[in-house]
Chain A
Amino acid sequence: MQHWKIRTAEANLVEVSVPFKMVPGCWVRARVAARDVEMMHVPALDAVFMRDLGSSLERCFRLSQVQCVGRDHPALQGSLTLWAHGKSLQHVAVDYMRCGVESLLQARGTQQSVADVTAPMAGECVRLYKQEGDVVEAGETVLVLDAMKMENQINATFAGKIVRMLCAHKDRVTCGQKLFRLEKC
């Protein structure tokens, strides 16, 4: 049985890190909290389809930031963002994933003690609110990235200590670049 880790959950955005490879066009069995599901990645559509085990009803999730490993084997691995298009599907995404998010957020406390927070988009680090050694609350803003004339707050994903700051003021960062390392205290 393979497991998912759900890193953050906002109102209409669910980030999922998939610690296994998804071969395009194949159903892969996964477990989201207490829920057995199957997932299929269709690269041509930039989408992941998900269904409960034993059900034929599939939900479509649009995909961004697909990280492909290997040139000749375009399997999907690592971090990806799933979201559904249109209002109805935004709710769908949240409804569908809620049980997983909640239980995993609780579980994270025991499972995850160190994590690198990465840049969700390319941009410039315009403000650092915290520095190495600071203790932060879950959801507290650590720094601000400016991308396309918009400021984006980068928050701590859980309560802990910033053990390493991996970017500096005025640094240009690429999408996915590590920004700081957080350790649970």
Chain B
Amino acid sequence: MGCDVRINRVLVANRGEIAVRIVRTLRDLGRESVAIYADVDQESLHRSMADFSVRLSGQGVAQTYLNIEQIVAIAQSSGADAVHPGYGFLAESVAFCRAVEEAGLVFIGPSAVAMQCLGDKIAARKLMIEHQVAVVPGGVKPLENVAELAACIEDIGLPVILKASGGGGGRGMRVVRRLEDMALSFEQCQREALQCFGNDAIFCERYIESPRHIEFQVLCDVYGNGVHLFERDCSIQRRHQKLFEEAPSVYLSSQQRNTLGAEAVRAVLAAGYCGLGTVEFICESPDQAYFMEVNTRIQVEHPVTECITGIDLVAEQIRVAEGKALAWKQDEIRLHGWSMEARINAEDPAQQFLPTPGRVQRWSVPLGPHVRLDSHVYEGYTIPDAYDSMIAKLIVWGNTREEAIARLKRALAELKVEGIPTTALFHSALLNCPKFVAGDFDTSYMQAEWEWAATAARLAPHADEIAEISLVGMLGEMG
């Protein structure tokens, strides 16, 4: 990452809503954008939003959006001076980051060195321990054999979780609850790690049942300054996939927020980090938060942070990548109000969240005060089956959590999608659930409360009011 360069033209190495979102900020800043698109994305919105677009040759994700050689070549030939990876695809690929740097272009993200250091879970754990950041009790080196695992279990007790050092995205993990399962789990986890991530290093840590997932947004410049932009609560998940996020979290007091935020900044600065990042913690209780990992990219749920701080995070990524110093000190950043994000996925909540690619026949989006919709969908767009099911993010802001909930309910009711089922109905049900409203939930919430959500989804054909009344009655019965 060079110092004081001016970025004029950015290749956006992504598709879908995040590509559209990045292009928007680039235009706001008066910078040019280059979109790339695979053949299936010929009618994709990001192609027409960008100043330029270039077709990716080849079929399938590996030959297109994951094709480092092709993307770097396009970046060079299109006259781009920087590459923004978005999230997913190559966003956390050290090889991609290095290839972009070697091509003489600016990678809008951390350096390859920092990315590698934080991408390796064992190395990151070691680094955090050295810098007095709390990690989940467990090992700090790869487990060589079952005997070492047994020793580790003796130390920290059951249950434990085995994790691939190079893993991520909720894969390459295995929970061990009984000693007799230990040997088999060890072998399976090691094999899976090798297959999925090309690295059989695994380690073990105490398994925390039903934790709260809290993450801090951090931002660092090249001069070693770092700030946090408060937390996001991402505990509403289904099979390790986030469905709903909010900022701030009801779980943390202002003091805990400051303590944990400072810890998050210390964690990334320890790795010589520069750019935007997210430090994930799992919390057993508000006072017992453990470092999990750093996501070295912009996150799907970044808009909630933008709403409570008033800061355009993509614009800050570009600023920092140009070698500019942070515009503020920690105490100049204010947390203002409450923000929530509902992920609208092409999935049917009534059928176990079955993916539902297809043509969007009607697309009428909510508007009004403090409502934001990040999406690449338009009426008549056919959602391809080759990519992620997320088609939109509905984000609202309110002065208080109650106001945000009311506003999100209102916005969800205004959203009209025809042609494909979406998760919108799930969110309407969630916002009516007393436990959610009370802030009483953790990562096991979806599993525990699943039945009511499925029932709610079955009410879809009925009028909104009827569905709501029945749902409220039903939830009352459930206590």
Contact = CB atoms under 8 A, between A and B. Distances in A.
Q: Is the interface of A mostly helix, strand, loop or mixed?
A: mixed
Nearest to B380: A44
B77 interface: yes
A90 to B, nearest CB: 11
Contacts of A49: 47-48, 53
A78 interface: no
Q: Is the interface of B mostly helix, strand, loop or mixed?
A: mixed
A60 B30 contact: no
A81 B233 CA distance: 48
B59 interface: no
A104 interface: no
Interface of A: 25, 42, 44-47, 49, 56-60, 62, 86-89, 92
B381 A58 contact: no
B267 interface: no
A140 B260 CA distance: 70
A125 B79 CA distance: 48
Contact of B50 (A42, A56, A60): A60
A44 B53 contact: no
B47 A60 contact: yes
Given A45-B43, A88-B30, A88-B32, A60 B48 contact: yes
Nearest to A25: B42
B27 A88 contact: yes
Interface in B16-60: 27, 30, 32, 34, 42-43, 45, 47-55
A42 B48 contact: yes
Contacts of A42: 42-43, 47-48
B381 A44 contact: yes
B52 A58 contact: yes
A57 B74 CA distance: 9
Given A44-B381, A57-B54, A86 B27 contact: yes
A56 B32 contact: no
A44 B43 contact: yes
11 contacts: A42-B47, A44-B43, A49-B47, A56-B54, A56-B55, A57-B78, A58-B55, A60-B47, A60-B51, A60-B52, A60-B53
A184 B9 CA distance: 46
Interface residues of B, number: 23
A88 B51 contact: yes
Contacts of B380: 44
B48 A47 contact: yes
Contact of B48 (A25, A62, A87, A92): A62
Return the 10 tightest CB-CB contacts between A and B, nearest first.
Answer: A44-B43, A45-B48, A47-B48, A58-B53, A60-B48, A56-B54, A86-B27, A57-B52, A57-B78, A44-B380
Interface string B68-97: 000000100111000000000000000000
Contacts of B47: 42, 45, 49, 60
Contacts of A88: 27, 30, 32, 51
A86 B51 CA distance: 9
Given A42-B42, A60-B52, 15 more contacts: A25-B43, A42-B43, A42-B47, A44-B43, A45-B47, A45-B48, A47-B48, A49-B47, A49-B48, A56-B54, A59-B51, A60-B50, A60-B53, A88-B30, A88-B32
Interface centre among B48, B50, B74 (most CB of A within 10 A): B48
